[in-house]
């Protein structure tokens, strides 16, 4: 399963269970559609997602919506593959005729996508009490809890889903991730590595369990072991290329992920080259023009950060202005990427030692991201505002969402809190 698709796996799993439990009793959530043709196409689309083939799901989603344009859950699936329209499509789904359970489910999914995990957990918890035999609700609750940092609660919800279904591969997968995340939250990094490596070893040679590789790679960053991280990412790239993953989606996401860690851990020139190499896989790929533009923006932003680390501040800022123009030229949809621009601008200003400007930009970025919050803590610290720095570092240290961002920020936050104290 590719990382870029698994990043929004919650939406997929939500929909999978919803249609699977259609009409099977009062303790299961029912989906509303008048068309059997739409229902069958929806099942076929879900089967493609289940095999991690989102590109092949698209015609089935289109068929479902052609048969029933008011099929709210098909619109939810449509939002899954149209990244720049996710929130508008969810709003559209909410406006369709829904059962009360569907409406709450879509609302919770909207909170999930906006990273409002407290609200998502609250709604999914209520739904899990109402629909106690619906494995989708249990899975959704587990995913929301996981993103909210409650890995033990997530594990319990995933186990409940497994109990309801009698065992499903994707539920087993979520259980394995929750188990590994629990090790990481306890700083049991070797135990986490053993767990993830054991699962990888169980996979077929022709399988590419991307998320297992990613989670394994992150464990090395927590211990400042860049070479260990790169070795895992190289193995992931080899498998992805060998097993045909790059044929349906370019390998840019692997290159960028590797470049990001290298850039934060001192290998600035190599990071710059990785961003360049990764983007070369995008133009000839089959992804749509919007996605290609998004990956161009990400690659340019990565190169700008690497240049800033090298002390080439003028060149870095020129690239940031290029990204800002891309966003402005994108009109209303482009506004979705403004927080990313402010993260980028704050990063560059911080490297240029323009701390007030860095703080101004970073406060407009996505501060639910622990790495963004750590940059803000650095800016406060270097500007002399120790109280704000201490608070920001504390929030980073308390973040429990297992991700590359946490792996790159948690060790520093822990170290700085030890120096500054927690009061």
Helix pair angle (370-383, 386-398), 10° resolution: 160
89 occurs within a structural domain: yes
| 241-265 mean pLDDT | 93
114 falls in which pLDDT band (50, 70, 90)?
Answer: confident
| 197-209 mean pLDDT | 85
Domain extent, residue 148, equals 1-182
| 337-344 mean pLDDT | 96
| 27-52 mean pLDDT | 79
311 occurs within a structural domain: no
- In terms of pLDDT, which residue wins out, 134 or 307? 307
361 three-state secondary structure: helix
| 54-62 mean pLDDT | 88
Q: What mean pLDDT value characterizes the chain?
A: 88
331 occurs within a structural domain: no
Q: Please give the full DSSP string across 23-88, using - where no structure is assigned.
A: TS-TTS-----S-HHHHHHHHHHHHHHHTT-HHHHHHHHHHHHHH-TT-HHHHHHHHHH-GGGHHH
Contact 104, 123 (CB under 8 A): yes
Look at residues 280, 274, 277, 257 and name the one whose alpha carbon lies nearest to residue 4. 257
| 155-176 mean pLDDT | 79
384 occurs within a structural domain: no
Task: Write the DSSP symbol of residue 96.
Answer: S
343-376 in b/e burial notation, b at 16+ Cβ within 10 A? bbbbbbbbbbebbebbbebbeebebbbbbbbbbb
175 falls in which pLDDT band (50, 70, 90)?
Answer: confident
Contact 60, 45 (CB under 8 A): yes
Rounded to 5°, the CA angle 308-314-315 comes to 70
360 occurs within a structural domain: no
161 occurs within a structural domain: yes
Give the ranges where 186-288 is alpha helix by DSSP (H): 189-201, 210-222, 226-242, 245-248, 252-264, 268-279
Q: Residue 77 has what pLDDT?
A: 83
Residue 88 has pLDDT above 60, yes or no: yes
For the record, the structure tokens of 37 come out as 């043709």
317 occurs within a structural domain: no
2 occurs within a structural domain: yes
Distances (CA, A) of 26 to 101, 165, 167, 295: 11, 16, 22, 45
Cα–Cα distance between 277 and 270 in angstroms, integer?
A: 10
Q: What is the pLDDT of residues 295-333, one digit of tens each?
A: 999 999 999 999 999 999 999 999 999 999 999 999 988
Q: Residue 26 has what pLDDT?
A: 57
Number of domains in the chain: 1
- What CATH number corresponds to the domain at position 150? 1.25.40.10
Q: Residue 203 has what pLDDT?
A: 82
- In terms of pLDDT, which residue wins out, 12 or 105? 105
Contact 336, 305 (CB under 8 A): no
pTM: 0.74
Hey, how many other C-beta atoms are within 10 angstroms of the C-beta on 394? Answer: 17
Look at residues 6, 8, 29, 27 and name the one whose alpha carbon lies nearest to residue 17. 29
């Amino acid at each position: 399963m590719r990382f870029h698709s698994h990043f929004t796996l919650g939406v997929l799993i939500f929909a999978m269970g919803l249609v699977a439990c259609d009409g099977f009793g009062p303790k299961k959530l029912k989906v509303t559609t008048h068309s059997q043709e739409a229902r069958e196409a929806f099942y076929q689309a879900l089967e493609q997602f289940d095999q991690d083939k989102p590109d092949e799901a698209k015609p089935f989603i289109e068929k479902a919506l052609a048969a029933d344009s008011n099929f709210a859950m098909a619109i939810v699936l449509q939002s899954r593959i149209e990244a720049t329209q996710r929130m508008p499509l969810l709003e559209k789904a909410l406006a369709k005729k829904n059962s009360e359970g569907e409406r709450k489910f879509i609302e919770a999914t909207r909170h999930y996508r906006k990273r409002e995990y407290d609200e998502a957990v609250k709604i999914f918890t209520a739904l899990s009490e109402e629909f106690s035999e619906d494995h989708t609700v249990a899975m959704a609750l587990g995913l929301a809890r996981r993103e909210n940092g409650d890995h033990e609660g997530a594990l319990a919800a995933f186990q409940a889903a497994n109990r309801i279904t009698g065992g499903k591969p994707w539920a087993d997968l979520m259980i394995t991730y929750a188990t590994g995340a629990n090790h990481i939250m306890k700083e049991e990094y070797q135990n986490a590595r053993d767990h993830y490596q054991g699962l990888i070893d169980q996979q077929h040679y022709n399988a590419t369990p991307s998320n297992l590789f990613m989670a394994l790679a992150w464990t090395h960053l927590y211990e400042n072991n860049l070479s260990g991280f790169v070795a895992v990412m190289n193995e992931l790239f080899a498998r992805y290329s060998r097993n045909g993953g790059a044929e349906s989606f370019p390998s840019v996401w692997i290159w960028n992920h590797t470049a990001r860690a290298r850039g934060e851990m001192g290998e600035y020139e190599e990071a710059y080259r990785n961003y360049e190499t990764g983007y070369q896989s995008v133009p000839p790929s089959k992804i749509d023009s919007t996605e290609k533009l998004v990956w161009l923006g990400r690659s340019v932003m990565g190169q700008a950060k690497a240049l800033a680390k090298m002390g080439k501040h003028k060149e870095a800022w020129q690239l940031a202005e290029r990204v800002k123009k891309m966003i402005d030229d994108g009109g209303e949809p482009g506004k979705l990427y403004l927080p990313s621009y402010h993260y980028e601008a704050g990063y560059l200003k911080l490297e240029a030692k323009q701390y007030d400007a860095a703080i101004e930009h970073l406060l407009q970025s996505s501060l639910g991201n622990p790495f963004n919050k750590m940059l803000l803590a650095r800016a406060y610290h270097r500007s002399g505002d120790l109280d704000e720095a201490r608070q920001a570092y504390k929030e980073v240290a308390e973040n429990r969402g297992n991700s590359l961002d946490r792996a790159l920020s948690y060790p520093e936050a822990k170290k700085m809190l030890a120096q500054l104290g927690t009061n």
